[in-house]
Every structure is written in structure tokens, then in C-alpha cells.
Chain A
Amino acid sequence: AQSVAQPEDQVKVAEGNPLTVKCTYSVSGNPYLFWYVQYPNRGLQFLLKYITGDNLVKGSYGFEAEFNKSQTSFHLKKPSALVSDSALYFCAVRDMRNGGFKTIFGAGTRLFVKA
């Protein structure tokens, strides 16, 4: 079955330190992977995606993600965290069955960045 796992409910880092938010996936076929961020009382905002090509994907607000096929992971990273990065982060995979219309989201990881 297609699925996404975010093993950490929350991640805490100090401002200026690097951050990593973990994601692993299980799909049949090639994975189409996404990261979204959700701020309080807001909808989800797209950060970045992996479709094909370079395993290191760069996205919005200085975020990047590394696709690792052997480990079936797609971890979100940022070299230097900001307090304003504090939010809820979702990893998602596109289910390619039946036309690929369905996006499956992980449960989310809450990021806390302390000043």
C-alpha cells in the first residue's frame, strides 16, 4: 500500500542550528514526493517536490530535501533554522494508481525553533 511515515511528532531546534524533519515512504513504482508546511489557522503551503533527477531538491524559504531511494526517505532540511520556521510540516506522496490523482499525507511533524 502507498504510505508515508513521519516518525517524529515534534522536532525542537535552536535558532541558527540546522534542522531535519524525517519522512519515509512506501510506494509501488516511482515516487512523486512533496513537502508542505501549515501555519496556525492556515491551509497548507507547498515547499518543494521530488519528481525525478537530482536527489537534492531545493525549495521555498531556504528548505531543501534529499531523496534517498535505497532508504526510501525524503528528509526535509534547512542549514540554519529561524523562529519563523516554527510550524507543522507534512510529507506527502502522490499515489500513481488510477491516474495519480490522490495525494497521501503523513501525520505531520511539529517544528519548534527556539530563539
Chain B
Amino acid sequence: ETGVTQSPTHLIKTRGQQVTLRCSSQSGHNTVSWYQQALGQGPQFIFQYYREEENGRGNFPPRFSGLQFPNYSSELNVNALELDDSALYLCASSPGLAGVAYNEQFFGPGTRLTVL
């Protein structure tokens, strides 16, 4: 069973640029969530996708957007990067239907984004 993978591992961008982060869900998982973890803080929910549709969003501006593909892999896109976007971005997948609240999530190792 393959776990959740994310790419790239590290990324350095400058303010105003755009970035795409990628995630492959664990086999059999059709729900994926993205989180932002700033240094010294807990993960903050960005959004969740189920069967290629966004079905929940946290308090992040529209320049944070995503996609989920038929194979349940996912992308997180951030436009007009700001310095405060520097963080570890975590992808998490879970089995079953979106909104099945008792499913634990399986996290990838994250992508460390640095915005200069």
C-alpha cells in the first residue's frame, strides 16, 4: 500500500510569483485535504476535495485554489505569493465519503515553501 506523497519537497519562490504543489493520495482514498502549517503552529485547513469537487474551504483567500484529478491526486495552486505564505503545506487523504467525520487522515511529508 503506497502512502501519501507530495512534491516537491522544498521550494523557494519570490513574492508575486505563482506556485503549484502536488499530492498523490493513498491508494483507495477519494478525499483529499490541504493544510498550511506555519512555523510553530498547528495545521490550518485550506480546503478539501471529494471526487474532483471542492466541498469545504477554510479561511483562505481565493488566490489559494486546487484541483483533484480522476485518479484522486491533487494540486494546490497559490497565486500572487506573499511573504506570509511561507509554510509547510500538508496534503492528507482519507477513505470513504467526504464528511464522514470519524475517518482519520493520512498525511504526506509536506512541501516546505519559502517566499522571499
Contacts and interface: CB of A to CB of B under 8 A. Distances in A.
A106 B41 CA distance: 8
Contacts of B66: none
A13 interface: no
B42 interface: yes
Interface residues of B, number: 29
A46 B106 contact: yes
A101 B55 contact: yes
Q: Is the interface of B mostly helix, strand, loop or mixed?
A: loop
Contacts of A44: 43, 90, 92, 105, 107
Nearest to B97: A99
A46 B93 CA distance: 12
B28 interface: no
Nearest to B48: A101
Interface residues of A, number: 26
A32 B108 CA distance: 22
A80 B6 CA distance: 34
Given A46-B106, A99-B55, A104 B98 contact: no
A102 B45 contact: yes
Interface of A: 32, 34, 36, 41-46, 49, 51, 90, 92, 94, 96, 98-108
Interface of B: 4, 6, 33, 35, 40-45, 48, 50, 55-56, 58, 90, 92, 98-102, 104-110
Given A44-B43, A101-B99, A101-B101, 13 more contacts: A41-B109, A43-B92, A43-B108, A99-B55, A100-B99, A100-B101, A101-B50, A101-B55, A101-B56, A102-B45, A106-B42, A107-B40, A107-B42
